[in-house]
Amino acid sequence: MFLLTTISVVDIVRVMTTSISTPPLTPAVFHILLALSSGERHGYGIMKQVEADSQGKVSMGPGTLYGSLKRMLDAGLVRESDKRVDPEMDDERRIYYQITGLGAEALAAELARYQRIVTIAQQRKLFPKTFAYDG
């Protein structure tokens, strides 16, 4: 006799990240994890960091940001920080987020995937060895 139980998103992500290959991240999740890799941030701070990291080429709106953060919280990629007050803004309603170990592993796997792709592109001489977001 089989017993059916509820499987959470966290359970699925845990199995996927402990396997040999992890699924690619969506661009929004990738940019959020990258922004949080340098420290805790509140939502607006994440949006500004994404814009800075991409040299203004990626602009993330609140719908995309908070929808992604909700899914990332459920999956265990990020967590809410205990930090609540931004001294410059003095708004205790701000929620700060931080990357988890699982989130750092997912980001590292995605960066390794990007590195492999860039190496292939360089081997095929598809672009110069140095490049930026200049278009």
Instruction: Give yes or no for a contact between 23 and 112, defined as CB atoms under 8 angstroms apart.
Output: no
The CATH-assigned architecture of domain 9-123 is Orthogonal Bundle (1.10)
Tens of pLDDT along 52-101? 999 999 999 999 999 999 999 999 999 999 876 656 665 667 899 999 99
Residue of 26 and 83 predicted with greater confidence:
26
**Runs of H (alpha helix) within 1-135:** 9-18, 27-36, 43-53, 62-75, 101-123
Q: pLDDT band at residue 125, thresholds of 50, 70 and 90?
A: confident
Tokens 């040299």 label which residue?
A: 55
Please tell me whether residue 79 adopts helix, strand or coil conformation.
Answer: strand
Q: Residue 100: what pLDDT?
A: 97
Q: How many CB atoms lie within 10 A of CB 70?
A: 10
pLDDT confidence of residue 133: 56
End-to-end CA distance of the chain, in Å? Answer: 60
Average pLDDT of span 101-122:
94
Sheet (strand 41-42) strand order: 41-42, 96-99, 78-80
Q: Mean pLDDT score of the chain, rounded to an integer? A: 84
Instruction: Specify the pTM.
Output: 0.75
Percent of the chain surpassing pLDDT 70: 72
Which pLDDT belongs to residue 24? 94
